[in-house]
Amino acid sequence: MSNAVFVLAQTYSALLERGFTEEIVETIRDEFQYYKSGNEFDHEWFCHDRGADPGSYLSHVHLIPSNPEDEATWLADFENKHKRRHRSSDRYVLYASDPRHGYLIIDILDDPGAHEVWKQRRTKLAGYELAATDFCTFGPKPDLHR
């Protein structure tokens, strides 16, 4: 499996518009790459990777909450080996994965609200599913941010 991680160029720009800095976006990408190369439960920022539905390429993983109180709970649970596997958040990284091409970060759904958006993935996230399918079928395009 290739562990290259790409970010959709439009997503990269949108994250900057939403107040993320370039450094934060790059750090998330780098940490995601590190996370995908190890054990699902051994990363401080990510947990509960949910693979794609049958017939779908769009996946999501829970991301450390942005709310300071929820973040503190998440980090405390990470330190507790019995709770580590049960961390959950209402903040997701949407992505596609392909053994030949690696990973494509499609978007970050911020908290609160990621769970509700994911429930409507067949409609609200149809464009993301197309991006995931395109990446997995044809590979990275020149307009991806790496």
Would 88 be classed as within a structural domain?
yes
Residue 111 lies inside a defined structural domain of this protein:
yes
pLDDT digits (tens, 9 = 90+) for 25-53: 999 999 999 999 988 788 999 998 887 78
**Average pLDDT value for residue range 92-119:** 94
- Pairs from 47-51 (Cβ < 8 Å, separation ≥ 24): 47/78, 47/84, 47/85, 47/87, 47/88, 47/89, 48/87, 48/88
Q: What pLDDT does residue 61 have?
A: 95
The domain total for the chain is: 1
DSSP state of 111: S
Average pLDDT over residues 80-89: 87
Q: Looking at the predicted structure, is the pLDDT value of residue 1 above 70?
A: no
pTM of the entire predicted model: 0.92
Question: What's the pLDDT score for residue 114?
Answer: 92
Task: Output the CA torsion 8→51→45→13 (10° steps).
Answer: 10
Averaged pLDDT, 14-18: 95
Residue 37 lies in a domain: yes
Kindly indicate the confidence band of residue 84, based on its pLDDT and cuts at 50, 70 and 90: confident
Query: 104 is in which domain, residue-wise?
Result: 5-138
Residue 125 inside a domain? The answer is yes
State yes or no: cis peptide before 112, omega within 30 of 0.
Answer: yes
Residue 144 lies in a domain: no
pLDDT digits (tens, 9 = 90+) for 88-99: 899 999 999 999
Report if residue 109 sits inside a domain.
yes
Query: What is the structure's pLDDT at 41?
Result: 83
**Number of alpha carbons in the 13 Å side-chain half-sphere of residue 85:** 3
| Domain presence at residue 66 | yes
**Does 146 fall in a domain?**
no
